[in-house]
Structure 1
Amino acid sequence: MENTSGPRAGRKEWTALGVLMLPLLLVSMDVSVLYFAIPYISEDLEPSATQQLWILDMYGFVLAGLLITMGALGDRIGRRRLVLVGAAVFGLASLAAAYADSAELLIAVRALLGLGGAALMPSTLALIRNLFHDAKQRAKAVTLWTAVMTTGISLGPVVSGLLLEHFWWGSVFLINLPAMGLLLLLVPFLVPETGGSGSGSGVPETGAPGAGLSGSGAGGSGARSRFDLLSAVLSLGALLPVIYGIKEWARHGYAPVPALGICAGLLLGLVFVRRQRRLEHPMIDLGLLGRRAFGGPVLANLLAMFATVGMAVFFTQYLQSVLGRSPLTAALWSLVPAAGVAVTAPTAAALAQRTDRAYVMGGGFALSACGFLLFTQVRTDSPLWFTLVGGAVYAGGLVAAMTLANELALGAAPPERAGSAAAVLESGQELGGALGMAVLGSVGAAVYSRDMADALPAGVPQADAVRETLGGAAAVASELPRATADAVLIAAREAFTHGMGIAAVGAASVMAGAGLFAFGLLRGVGRTPAADAQGAQDEATPPAGPSIEARSSVTAGD
């Protein structure tokens, strides 16, 4: 018997998905597209060291800080409308960035790019919830969404390197314009409006008769409720200092200012949560977040991004600084692990149609742990294929688990809250990536420093710089006599590889824990797509008022 939860999508819906994947790819690419361009930007605009860091980081900070706000805004004004606004802002900011004539202007338009990206990302995932009502088709669509998002981050440096071989640095921004133009042209014809008061999807967003009368259904008073500006400010004030502090910790180690930023962000986060509990129409439905069917996948995604981003730093540095590949060559090789994703993601989606998705998610985490354990055996003289196999195994397992987590959470969210739900998922991913970079990066740095303290030849100048990073060791070695330089570089590469191996042990341990979490706490929540609606109803928290009761009835009927 076929498990469906609504009418099947046709050619129009799949074409709409393809169009929506364009901005998602570019938004995720823009996180990493400046890695190769920054030397050219520095030569042209002459930014200070602090300005250079803000050019790189401003986009990610604003994107992460505004995801929750934009997800809630899309639920209120309409997700298609927000996608169109986000595409216009992203396109105009890309044009301004390409021709920026000062570091200050480039920083400002990078912030605008983050604003446009934050409008686009949760809206694209939320629209999938309303385009695909058949559970099997929605699973395939979410698989594509997750694969495009993760591939974009890896593809950014490759596209940047190829463009910079032939054009000036502004070209890395101009590639956004055709895709945004196509989006603005086609979305009004292919994508129905969902959310807000003007939903015209043709399939009701409410799941039970009269649900919209209570204030939470699409087109009800909840959809038209006043946007809470204070909650938006609090969410931004909570996320930005925390992510900034974690990234600064990863980059420079402990310092008072980043630590105060993390504490201030956590304090504002508590204020934000308290406010959500009191609001009739909160920006985040805390009752939904408390369900295993939604809160569990959010935590699973956070753990997956912890390992993904935390190890990506080591992987690219190993290819460039240990194996001696050029930046572009290293970027191209780093795409090879995507082969593992191409195999495991659709396989996991197919298995999830036949068995409890918790088991498949747990298997994905276990597979990724095996890939990280392979990384513990990588040495300075290991063949490249061995490293790439390890990368393919852990990437394949992680994306398989993340795909199912996204699909499970999106299916558990009421359609009229899909934008907020998608934003919470993506905010968790951003936080997990920042934590992974900080924690695993600090572990690798500590091992590197300890090994270099023991192995560094006596009398080497600038010993502190050599002990701090592999890049610092390479810079110092370039000014030393040949024999001493070789000794320093050999020791530094071995220390870095050892640190990468210990960090991989940490990543494997976290993935093993994530697998046990999926097996133990998510069983029954993801039995089969046909059981999702009833499972979501079973997981509902006790009603706290009319709006909560209505949201529960919507979820049960979807």
Structure 2
Amino acid sequence: MNSSAPVRAGTRQWLGLAVLALPTLLVAMDVSVLHLAVPEISSGLGASAQETLWIVDIYGFMIAGFLVTMGTLGDRVGRRKVLLIGGAAFAVASVLAAYASDPVLLIAARALLGVAGATLMPSTLSLIVNMFTDDRQRGLAIAVWVTMFSVGTALGPVIGGLILQWFWWGAVFLIAVPVMVLLLILGPVLLPEYRDPDGGKLDPVSVVLSLVAILPIIFGLKELATEGSPALAAAGIVVGAAFGYVFVRRQRASEHPLLDLRLFTRRAFAVAASALLLTMFVAGGTYLFITQFLQLVAGRSPLTAGLWLLPAAFALIITSMSSPGLAARFGPAPVVAAGLAISGVGHLLLLLVTPGEDVTLLVTAFAVLYAGGGPVVALGTDLIVGSAPPQMAGSASAVSETSTELGMALGVAILGSLGTAIYRAQVTVAPGTPAPTATAIQDSLANGVAATNSLPADTADTLLSSAREAFTSGLAGIALTSAILSFALAGLVLWGIRTGAEESAESDAVPVS
């Protein structure tokens, strides 16, 4: 390893970062931009409820399943090459999705989009490691990358709503095409190529094992989150865990593993990955109930609800961008821990939310907890990729992204189930309510609102009063659990992440070849 001081990035590297930020924004947007278009897609293509679910979910499934493979592939054959191939595939798949003539074709196009998206995320992040070797500059660059990803997720529903005001549902996919064309033009000029010359060949058996480990687990968690078949959900999780065990055994025995598990022997890496996963776990469950609260309890339209989420997005931008400077002054561990504590305070504020149309406290609490998450995501990602050797940056980036995807899925499934259980335990139905309506209200607030849509507003409000109170209690249960986890995680980070020479010494002690 070169002992000289890192070369500071110049104009070309910062322009390259701008190029990398665009696909990052789009991949994140594609996770949520489709939500508002679902009704039009269902009616336009005649999709069944099961087909609609697959149209929405298959994208995230494929991203989660292929992240490790694509991250390691970039290390082996070239990160820029994988990024550009993925960008071209993303553009083609976007056109196929926009003009899909039936649900099966749209599902297939969304699956291809997910595979292409899995090439983009670790490639963009690992290239940042190559382009910014100075620690402070790298931290700022990763903060920009994290911010673009977060903004894309937050703006997806808003942009989707605006597009649907003037265009047909397929237009939500076409916005990716010019951006990917720009990536293909500017990428070869502004982005460096990097690959590990000693990486060895890609092990196809490990690729298959990684897919059959991750995909069934994600599927099982989604089944739990959408109240599908418990037996099917359990089977998916058990099958995935079993293949995961086989995958780990093979990686330990392989000379050139798909995922080098020695990365997890680095304390900063392991703690940062755990912190990122648990932070996204908390965010996933909370986000699920807050978006529903805005629409089902406060009565906001989907587009208006999306606009109410913007303060949280802006708070996340501010804290993500300011985190590297604070970390340079105080160290990453105290800044991340402080962010987690702030997030815990935001969750405690949610305990004060009451049913009603005034959403000021809800939006404020959500902005506070998102502000606290900014340092965790920005610095946690930096710690993960920064604590890994440069030749493993693709694999480390894939771990970072997998932690994010898995954490979100776990949060939606587990915390969503907790909130639903509290709702069902507390909801009561007024005597004389028709049986079908009563059953719908007792099942979920969403079903209750749908069942009372045709009733006069006063009657519907009376029937749904208890349901809205119960839903608010479910949100409070999630908030309290999340607050406890956030404060506990702050302590874990302070204990587990070491900085400066101490961390460097530990990192250098681990062989990487």
Q: Same fold (TM over 0.5)?
A: yes
- In structure 2, the partner of 1:42 is 42
For residues 519 and 458 of structure 1, the distance between their equivalents in structure 2, rounded to whole angstroms, comes to: 56
For residues 5 and 389 of structure 2, the distance between their equivalents in structure 1, rounded to whole angstroms, comes to: 13
> Against the structure 1 CA distance between its residues 519 and 355, is the aligned structure 2 distance closer, same or farther, given a 3 Å change threshold?
same
- In structure 2, the partner of 1:147 is 147
Work out which of the residue numbers 209, 223, 243 in structure 2 matches 1:268.
243
- In structure 1, the partner of 2:184 is 184
Give unpaired runs (5+ residues) of structure 2.
Answer: none
**Contact 2:266–2:506 (CA under 8 A) maintained in structure 1:** no
- In structure 1, the partner of 2:434 is 460
Query: Aligned partner of 1:345: which letter?
Result: S
Work out which of the residue numbers 515, 521, 536 in structure 1 matches 2:507.
536
After TM superposition, the structure 1 = structure 2 runs for residues 328-343 of structure 1, keeping only pairs within 5 Å, are 328-343=303-318
Work out which of the residue numbers 254, 258, 275 in structure 1 matches 2:233.
258
- In structure 2, the partner of 1:198 is none
- In structure 2, the partner of 1:433 is 408
The answer to whether the aligner puts 1:12 opposite 2:34 as a matched pair is: no
- In structure 1, the partner of 2:387 is 412
- In structure 1, the partner of 2:33 is 33
- In structure 1, the partner of 2:480 is 505
Query: Aligned partner of 2:271: which letter?
Result: G
The answer to whether the aligner puts 1:358 opposite 2:333 as a matched pair is: yes
The answer to whether the aligner puts 1:234 opposite 2:205 as a matched pair is: no
- In structure 1, the partner of 2:224 is 249
State the TM-score, normalized to the length of structure 1: 0.89
For residues 143 and 396 of structure 2, the distance between their equivalents in structure 1, rounded to whole angstroms, comes to: 17
The alpha carbon displacement at 1:342 in A equals 3.0
**Contact 1:87–1:120 (CA under 8 A) maintained in structure 2:** yes
For residues 342 and 425 of structure 1, the distance between their equivalents in structure 2, rounded to whole angstroms, comes to: 19
The alpha carbon displacement at 1:242 in A equals 0.2
After TM superposition, the structure 1 = structure 2 runs for residues 357-376 of structure 1, keeping only pairs within 5 Å, are 357-376=332-351
Query: Aligned partner of 1:490: which letter?
Result: S
For residues 424 and 78 of structure 1, the distance between their equivalents in structure 2, rounded to whole angstroms, comes to: 18
The answer to whether the aligner puts 1:318 opposite 2:289 as a matched pair is: no
> Against the structure 1 CA distance between its residues 174 and 145, is the aligned structure 2 distance closer, same or farther, given a 3 Å change threshold?
same
Higher mean C-alpha deviation, range 460-469 or range 154-163: 460-469
After TM superposition, the structure 1 = structure 2 runs for residues 49-68 of structure 1, keeping only pairs within 5 Å, are 49-68=49-68
- In structure 2, the partner of 1:306 is 281
* Identity score, percent: 45
> Against the structure 1 CA distance between its residues 253 and 111, is the aligned structure 2 distance closer, same or farther, given a 3 Å change threshold?
closer
Higher mean C-alpha deviation, range 359-368 or range 179-188: 359-368
- In structure 1, the partner of 2:73 is 73
> Against the structure 1 CA distance between its residues 59 and 458, is the aligned structure 2 distance closer, same or farther, given a 3 Å change threshold?
same
**Contact 2:151–2:317 (CA under 8 A) maintained in structure 1:** no
For residues 73 and 117 of structure 1, the distance between their equivalents in structure 2, rounded to whole angstroms, comes to: 14
The alpha carbon displacement at 1:346 in A equals 3.0
> Against the structure 1 CA distance between its residues 474 and 12, is the aligned structure 2 distance closer, same or farther, given a 3 Å change threshold?
same
The alpha carbon displacement at 1:22 in A equals 0.5
RMSD of aligned C-alpha atoms? 1.6
For residues 373 and 458 of structure 2, the distance between their equivalents in structure 1, rounded to whole angstroms, comes to: 43
Q: Which has the higher helix share?
A: 2
**Contact 1:5–1:135 (CA under 8 A) maintained in structure 2:** no
State the TM-score, normalized to the length of structure 2: 0.96
> Against the structure 1 CA distance between its residues 15 and 186, is the aligned structure 2 distance closer, same or farther, given a 3 Å change threshold?
same
The alpha carbon displacement at 1:519 in A equals 1.3
- 3-state SS of the aligned residue for 1:450? helix
For residues 395 and 142 of structure 1, the distance between their equivalents in structure 2, rounded to whole angstroms, comes to: 18
After TM superposition, the structure 1 = structure 2 runs for residues 481-496 of structure 1, keeping only pairs within 5 Å, are 484-496=459-471
The alpha carbon displacement at 1:5 in A equals 5.1
The alpha carbon displacement at 1:472 in A equals 0.9
Q: Per-residue CA shift, 1:171-229, capped at 9, x if unaligned? A: 0000000100000000000001011xxxxxxxxxxxxxxxxxxxxxx32xx23x11100
For residues 482 and 71 of structure 1, the distance between their equivalents in structure 2, rounded to whole angstroms, comes to: 53
For residues 458 and 367 of structure 2, the distance between their equivalents in structure 1, rounded to whole angstroms, comes to: 37
**Contact 2:123–2:394 (CA under 8 A) maintained in structure 1:** yes
The alpha carbon displacement at 1:482 in A equals 5.7
**Contact 2:6–2:134 (CA under 8 A) maintained in structure 1:** yes
The alpha carbon displacement at 1:344 in A equals 2.0
For residues 305 and 387 of structure 2, the distance between their equivalents in structure 1, rounded to whole angstroms, comes to: 40
Query: Aligned partner of 1:138: which letter?
Result: R
Higher mean C-alpha deviation, range 52-61 or range 489-498: 489-498
**Contact 1:129–1:418 (CA under 8 A) maintained in structure 2:** yes
- In structure 2, the partner of 1:280 is 255
**Contact 2:299–2:357 (CA under 8 A) maintained in structure 1:** no
For residues 192 and 383 of structure 2, the distance between their equivalents in structure 1, rounded to whole angstroms, comes to: 23
> Against the structure 1 CA distance between its residues 403 and 457, is the aligned structure 2 distance closer, same or farther, given a 3 Å change threshold?
farther
